Every structure is written in structure tokens, then in C-alpha cells.
Chain A
Amino acid sequence: MVLSAAGLIFALMSGVGYYLAREMLLKNAEENARNQAQALVQKIESKLAPIPRVPRSLAYELAEGRLDEAGILRRQRQALADNDEIFGMAVAFEPQPGVHSEDEPAPYTFRTPLGPKVSRLGGSAYRYRNMDWYQLPRELRRTVWTEPYFDDGGGNILMATCSVPFYQGSGIDLRVLGVVTADVSLEWLKRMVASVNVLETGYAYLITRTGTYVTHPAPGVAFNETIFTRAEEFGDARLRRIGQEMIHGASGFVATTSQHTGKPGFQVYAPLPTTGWSLACSTPRMNCWPTWAARPS
């Protein structure tokens, strides 16, 4: 009987010890995952955050009417020379009778292997006034980042555009005079996120404000699916809720099963404040207590 009691106490203590160790490992795993995600967010933000300053600086000069076309082209070339992340810059003026016509082409300076080149955006094949890069900042009257896209004319590079309106007046008399844009290549971002090894076997992915995958380890997912269509296809209500949290700028750490690996695990997610996109890191549960696989039976 004494032996039975001792055995019972030993079993109880082992159980408590197991539970505490498991909780500690879980807490460590969460902290590690959050730290990894945050480190990646900061690395990405360090490249994206300075970009809006460049079109904003040109927008201020244009608002004050200090630049003619030659001056605009000079500023655009200088911006490209000073900022490796910027692929091209455009300036599009709002129609103004006698000054700027409805179909006026927008000067666009962009990188080529032979140096900066100028083209004119516009014409019947490129009606930009209803395109997001023009219409969003014009109507919202604030700096916006467009959804990422592939630039067909630029070698199929993954890009996004940071668009800044410039104005005259203020309050109810505020009048938008035009838009300045900076096209940013995101190839570095794609490579950075794709190469992430979260606790050795996990992966990272990036979604936009509408939940569109910019990167994803599964082939055919990026730019075809949103996190919500993927949730719909798999009947995964939890993934839909995670997606909604992400697009609303929340951070989180949740237990979930990865549809990509099929394994239960965790997802940590955090917003990218500059663009409104969101980064997530997914890790299988086994990595959280690696000694568990070797635990004696």
C-alpha cells in the first residue's frame, strides 16, 4: 500500500512536471516565433518605410508650383540615383482647363540596364485616371500603396506603387492637383520571405490588405488565391478568422493546422505598418518541444 501511494505521488509529480515543462516549452516557442516574426517585420519595414518620403518630397515641390517638366524629370532621375529600391517615378496632373488636359500623358522615368529612361504614360491603351495608382490617392487624399502586381513591360518583376497626391488649398477648399508615384520592386521581399526557415521546418508568407498571397510555399497560390479563398476551399473557418485579423492589422499567435503541410502547429502574424500588408510565420508543433520525439516511453 505504501508502495502504491508512493507510486501514485510519483505519477502525479511526473504529470505536473510534464505539464509545466510543456507549458514552458510552448511559451518559449511562442516567444521565439514572435521574436522571429518581429525581426523579419523590422527588416522589411527598414526598406519600405523610407520610400514614401521620396514621392512626398517631389509632391511638396509640385504643390508649390516650383517645377516645370524639365525640373520634374531632373527630380525623378535624382530620386532613382539616390534610392535603389525605387524602380520608376511618375507625375500625373489632374485635368485643368487650359493647363492640363484629360488625356495628358504622365512623364515616367524608370531604370533600364542602360540607365534611366523617360516614357509617357497615357493614351487610349493606358487610361490611368481610373487606375488604382491614380484614383486612390486622388479620391482618398492620402498616400496609398497599391496592391502588388507584375510589371509586364518591365520583365515581369513583382512591383507595388506608392502614390502620393499633391494639393492646393486646405479644408473644404482643398483641391488635388495631381499624383506622384514611386514604383518599388518587391523581388527582394519575395526572396526574403520565401527563404525564411521558422524554427527549421516552418515557413513564412505575406498577404496584402485584401488577403492576396504575395508569397506562399505552395506552388500556384501566390497571386491566385487570397487567404479567404484558401480558407473557403479547405472549409477552414479558423484560417478565415486569422486572415481577417491579419488584414485588420492585428498581431497574434494561434494554434492551427497548416493546410500546406497538413501538420498541426502554430501561426504567428504581424502587420507591416507602411503598406498595410501582413506577415505570418507557420511552424509545426513538433518543433516546439524537440526533445519530445526522443522522450523515453
Chain B
Amino acid sequence: MLLGLLTLCGLAVRPAMAAEPVRAALVLQWQPQAQFAGYYVAQAKGFYREAGVDLSIIPGGPDVVASRLLTSGQAQFATMFLATGIERRAEGLPLVNLAQLVQRSALMLFVHAGSNIREPKDLDGKRVGLWDNEFQLQPRALFQRLGVHPVIVPQSNTLSLFLRGGVDAASGMWYNEYHTLLASGLDPEELRVFFYRDMDLNFPEDGLYALEKTLAADPALCRAVAQASLRGWEYAFAHPEEALDVVQTRQREAHLPTNRAHQRFMLARMRDVILGQAADHVPPLGVLSRADFDRVAETLTRQGLLHARPSFADFYKGAQK
């Protein structure tokens, strides 16, 4: 029994004292910001190294497609939305989810408080800014459910069109665009917000992924990266100012604009959507619930975006509840 336990421990954590650390790369969904604090902190604090992995982080951006980097072997791990992961798997890319981070959807719609849009059904015929791809899943599901037909206006990476009155409603993430509006001079009472998570469209977002063949070839590597990443997130939430120092250093290295107030807000909201707030009932850190997977897959199917639903067991390879 002791031998079995020792064997299990050996599989669970790649021993750092053995051989050279395994080199691997993680590609993120976007450019360096507190949305990815846990990974940057894990790297900076040496958590990946302690787990026997020499992990480099590839920042995302408008021209970085995670699935392409995974397929080409430039990256072995990637972060993406749950909906994206399920879609790619259904399209034939053998992705597996190693850990689910964001449990509460941060996607939202905002309107000016003075507008006559008091509830989502008032969006009928109104001009609504939407981003592309996975960001349209929840809005389209909502519009379909309510039977409304807004005029969809492609949303850029700024909120200028909303701020200048060019659209009646705009999309944003709670941890990013919402604070951008406050940081542009709008007070909270000047906005009316609608969270998809409050409208029965709580789709978990950021998760950690790899290709099936990576997991099959080296399960210890995958477990090491997943566990070190979760450790990074726990550390970031427990030491937010230190985490912000790490993130802002990465941003400056990438010559990106950065300010403390915005990144601090972002990290605090990431805590809310990853760990949940007081009234939320979210799975433990890193766990993907079957119910959440089913809800997202069902909506993708009804939207005509999924023709063959992947099985949960094939898709999710992380810790169980």
C-alpha cells in the first residue's frame, strides 16, 4: 500500500531533482495583463521549475491563434474559453481541458443609464456592439431566447463607439472593459449593466488546455503545469500587490500601456470569477463541472455551432470534485 502511495505521488508531481526540467510553452489568450496573473506569478516564483518544468509563456494578441500554436508544436499548453475548447474539439482538434479557472462568466452588456433600455428585451431593434467568435455565443443565445433582433455592430478593441453614442449597448468583460469605462470618467450610476451569468447564461471562460497526444505522452508534465498554475493563482490572490508587480513588469517588457488602478481592479475581479463571491456556488479551483460543460455544449448545439458533441470524459482531464 505504501509502495502504491509512493508510486501515485511520483506520478502526481514531476520530481524536480530528476534530470533537466522539461521545456514547454504556454500560449495565453491575450497580451500580458492581470487576467493571466496566476501564470506569470507561477513563472516568476519558480513554481513551474519546482515542478520540473521550464515553462515559457507566449503572450496572445490579435494575430496569435492558440490552436495553431498547439498544432504546430510551438506551444504545448494554451488558455481559452470553455466554449472555444468544446468547439475546437468538435471540429476535430483533439484538445483536452486540464483545469478550469474562470467559473463565473465575466461577459456583460452595458448601456447608458439614461437610455430607454431598462432590461434585455428592450434591445430589440437597438444597435448593439458585439465582438467576434466565442463572444457572440451568449448574446445570440440571449437574443434568440427573448425573441429580439438588435442591429449587431462589430465591436473594435476600444469603447470609443459606445462612449460617443454610436451604439446603444456594448460588450465588455467585467474585469476589463467595465473598469475602462470608469477610468474614462463614467460613474457606476451612469451605466446599466447586464451580466450573462445572471441571465442563465453563465458560461465558464478561461481554462488550461493541451492536445490529447501531449497528455498521453507525458501525463506528469500536464499535471505539473496544471498544479503549478493553480498554485500561481492561489499565490496571486494571497499576495495581490506582488502579483501586480509581476504583471506590470511583463506589460512594460511588452511595451504595453499599464496602470496600477486598472490592473488592481482586474485582479480583484479575476478572484471573483475564479473563486466566486460569497453567494456563488462554484466548483473548487481548477475543476470543470459536468453541468457547466453540458450547458455550454447544449447552447453551442442549438446555435448550430456544434454538430457532434464531445464527451465530457474525453474532454475534461483535470481534478475531480
Contacts and interface: CB of A to CB of B under 8 A. Distances in A.
A226 B183 contact: yes
Contact of B261 (A136, A139, A233): A233
Given A243-B185, A244-B185, A229 B259 contact: yes
Interface stretch (A12-20, A39-47, A127-135): A127-135
Task: Classify the interface of chain A: helix, strand, loop or mixed.
Answer: helix
Given A136-B166, A147-B160, A223 B257 contact: yes
Contact of B183 (A129, A147, A228): A228
Contacts of A233: 259-261
A224 interface: yes
Most buried by A among B154, B184, B185: B185
Residue from B63, B153, B155, B262 having most chain A Cβ neighbours under 10 A: B262
Contacts of B184: 210-211, 226, 228, 247
A132 B159 CA distance: 9
Given A139-B161, A210-B185, A229-B183, A224 B156 contact: no
B72 interface: no
B185 A228 contact: yes
Given A144-B164, A229-B259, A131 B185 contact: no
Interface string A191-223: 000000000000000000111000000000001
A230 B257 CA distance: 14
A145 to B, nearest CB: 10
Chain B contact residues (Cβ within 8 angstroms of A): what range?
20 to 34
B182 interface: yes
B133 interface: no
Given A139-B166, A140-B164, A232 B261 contact: yes
A226 to B, nearest CB: 5
Interface in B113-164: 153-156, 158, 160-161, 163-164
Q: Give chain B's interface secondary structure class.
A: loop
A135 B156 contact: yes
Contacts of B289: none
A85 interface: no
B119 to A, nearest CB: 25
Interface in A135-154: 135-136, 139-140, 144, 146-147
A104 interface: no
Interface in A104-136: 125, 129-132, 135-136
Contacts of B163: 209-210
A232 B183 contact: yes
Contacts of B161: 132, 135-136, 139-140
B83 to A, nearest CB: 21
A131 B259 contact: no
A255 B149 CA distance: 50
Interface in A236-274: 240, 243-244, 247
Which size class do A's interface residues fall under? 20 to 34
A225 interface: yes
A136 B163 CA distance: 11
A230 B184 CA distance: 11
B31 interface: no
B202 interface: no
A3 to B, nearest CB: 60
A220 to B, nearest CB: 9
Contacts of B160: 132, 136, 146-147, 210
A258 B158 CA distance: 30
Nearest to B153: A139
A251 to B, nearest CB: 17
B258 interface: yes
A162 to B, nearest CB: 14
B185 A247 contact: yes
A131 B156 contact: yes
Most chain B C-beta atoms within 10 Å of own C-beta, residue among A140, A228, A233, A247: A228
A130 B164 contact: no
Given A211-B183, A211-B185, A225 B158 contact: no
Nearest to A140: B166
A229 B261 CA distance: 6
Contacts of A225: 259, 261
Contacts of A125: 63
Contacts of A228: 182-185
Contacts of A146: 160
A227 B185 CA distance: 8
Interface in B237-262: 257-262
Given A130-B154, A132-B158, A229-B262, 17 more contacts: A131-B156, A135-B161, A136-B164, A140-B164, A147-B158, A210-B185, A211-B184, A211-B185, A227-B185, A228-B183, A230-B261, A233-B259, A233-B260, A233-B261, A243-B185, A244-B185, A247-B184
12 contacts: A131-B156, A144-B164, A211-B183, A223-B257, A225-B259, A226-B183, A228-B182, A229-B261, A230-B259, A232-B183, A232-B261, A233-B260
A-B pairs, top 9 by smallest CB distance, nearest first, are: A229-B261, A210-B184, A232-B261, A139-B166, A130-B156, A229-B259, A225-B259, A228-B183, A233-B261
